[in-house]
Chain A
């Protein structure tokens, strides 16, 4: 058999894994890899900062369900990926990050552009590999993709010393993966499923609390069936939005810190919570000792370590959300809970999600119009902060994989490169990054990427000239002392767009919102929409950090 270089083996292995799109940046230690890559049928997207590559791979993965792949050189290239890897880790996103490394004989010598990226990323990866021998490379790639996409997905780093990329060996791509210590549990325990069904049939005030696991396991249809069969209302986490139709009468909206009041009241008064693919994050539970005080808790999750981590669970079911719901759906029946529905509907009427309309341009209004103009069919990414919460509250997600947001890590600068990744993975889709003026500037350089690769992403900047969410906390909890949250000096975003060869539109009046959005989605270029919104608008309702879920601050009162 003829021998191949490590770089050739790597790229062939990627092709075997079905990789057709990739994001990354050149550099000394990865030169041999790019030299091979340029001739292969992989659509390579050259970003302008490695962090953009990691987020783009993440957005690609979240929007398509495939593994996202990014590559960076050794040292600073690799360390620039770190925030993106951590973001993917917190939200269980399957990405494979390839990093160059100095040659094996120089590792540990403080060589030029050397960083121990395996050490640096150890707590933020599902697994990682330093490939020390080219003979190990094909198997490593096979394992990395397997680990990234199975079980609770997550990022995997493969560190590739330059002499491994240039070294030669015979190429055999393994057919199967055999990792004795890695066998995720997919099927729920039948006894536990029966116990859960029994508890469901007895409950009077049940609520389904669904998380990102629904979307990851492709369980939205099963969830819909489960909810409709049992007649149990559904609330979701931020990452669960789209996992259940946002327009459905049984939908309660998002719960937690900026959830709807009726979702939070329902949780608080519930006698049975069915948590599916969610992990009782502190932004969801509020004060844990007062979380759902009357409820029994069923928890379906593929990750055993998520169970009873923050909240004690009564009926744990370790398994894949889709498989477990399929089994549950065979045995559950309609719950007789009309008084509960009456109560919830009353809350829905009394405490609707709303904001004060006036002649000013409100950020919530912009989000509502994005929903209208795109007919709810866009892929939405968000940055982090107020823009993220308004995007969650005022856009109704009806299909999975249409909201991409950094929920766990809360990474500002995520949304724009993630939108680029989503557009690459879904060339026909309308993609909107709902951004803040602060967050957008954290990866603004990716405008060049979007322009170069003809990616017609739309960025809707809800420009309030503040780090809005932090300013909101200062207003509410720090006596309105706006320490270092004002961004009064920002570039002219319209001119920035034009300078990069994109299109820029400034919108200052309500009546101009819809025409501007329509124009944007018809434009086949990246568009930056600079919405000059009311500066001191707040996100409500709000549960202050550490308070119980029913202790909400409301804006309208």
Chain B
């Protein structure tokens, strides 16, 4: 099962290595990891997506809490939350294909952010399924390059 873990950390060098080391030391592959500053510039938030055995994960969360630079850890999988990813896709868009691509972009409420004679670059946010669906639909046109951020997540409501 996939878990989404949200970690508030001190915004300092070395912290990412300490956090990721707890996963790698136990042979856990991190599916995705996003880090960014919060409204408080001394604090960063990491959103980590991992797959793995529940018990081992519980232990990792406890170990994360023990790290001196970690302020707060929550396993969002266990509560109501919203998840988003951002993707940028560079698609080959010669002549007649262009209209077809535009149509799909509109259906997905995505945006075209760059265009030239050969390609269009699409930007879209959404949850993992939506992003994957768009990618599937773009494949036949020829994806030249693709970048997705990995998941960020936030809990629902006033908690």
Contacts of B18 in A (CB 8 A): 122
Q: From residue B45, how far is it (CB to closest CB) to chain A in Å?
A: 14
Contacts of B52 in A (CB 8 A): none
Contacts of B13 in A (CB 8 A): 130
Q: Which of A122, A130, A305, A309: most chain B Cβ within 10 A?
A: A305
- Does B29 reach chain A (CB closer than 8 Å)? no
- Does A491 reach chain B (CB closer than 8 Å)? no
A180–B66 CB distance below 8 A: no
Contacts of B72 in A (CB 8 A): 181
Task: Report which of B17, B25, B68 forms a contact with A181, defined as CB distance below 8 A.
Answer: B68
Count contacts between A and B, CB distance < 8 Å: 33
- Does A118 reach chain B (CB closer than 8 Å)? yes
Contacts of A410 in B (CB 8 A): none
B21–A127 CB distance below 8 A: no
A305–B14 CB distance below 8 A: no
A130 vs B12: C-alpha distance when bound (angstroms): 11
A181 vs B67: C-alpha distance when bound (angstroms): 8
Q: From residue A541, how far is it (CB to closest CB) to chain B in Å?
A: 31
Q: From residue B64, how far is it (CB to closest CB) to chain A in Å?
A: 9
- Does B85 reach chain A (CB closer than 8 Å)? no
Known A304-B62, A309-B59; judge A127-B17 contact (CB<8 A): no
Q: Which of B14, B58, B65: most chain A Cβ within 10 A?
A: B14
A304 vs B66: C-alpha distance when bound (angstroms): 9
Known A118-B14, A123-B21, A130-B14; judge A181-B71 contact (CB<8 A): yes
Number of residues on chain A facing chain B (CB within 8 A): 17
Contacts of B14 in A (CB 8 A): 118, 130
B21–A182 CB distance below 8 A: no
A305–B62 CB distance below 8 A: yes
A130 vs B13: C-alpha distance when bound (angstroms): 10
Q: From residue B43, how far is it (CB to closest CB) to chain A in Å?
A: 9
Task: Report which of A127, A180, A303 forms a contact with B71, defined as CB distance below 8 A.
Answer: A180
Interface members, chain B 1-46 (any A CB < 8 Å): 10, 13-14, 17-18, 21, 25
- Does B149 reach chain A (CB closer than 8 Å)? no
Interface members, chain A 305-327 (any B CB < 8 Å): 305, 308-309
Contacts of A127 in B (CB 8 A): 68
Residues on A lying within 8 angstroms of B by beta carbon are 118-119, 122-123, 126-127, 130, 147, 179-182, 303-305, 308-309
Q: List 15 A-B contacts (CB under 8 A).
A: A118-B14, A123-B21, A123-B25, A126-B68, A127-B68, A180-B71, A181-B10, A181-B67, A181-B69, A181-B70, A181-B72, A303-B66, A305-B62, A305-B66, A308-B58
The 9 closest A-B pairs by CB, nearest first: A305-B62, A181-B71, A127-B68, A182-B68, A305-B63, A122-B21, A304-B62, A123-B25, A305-B66
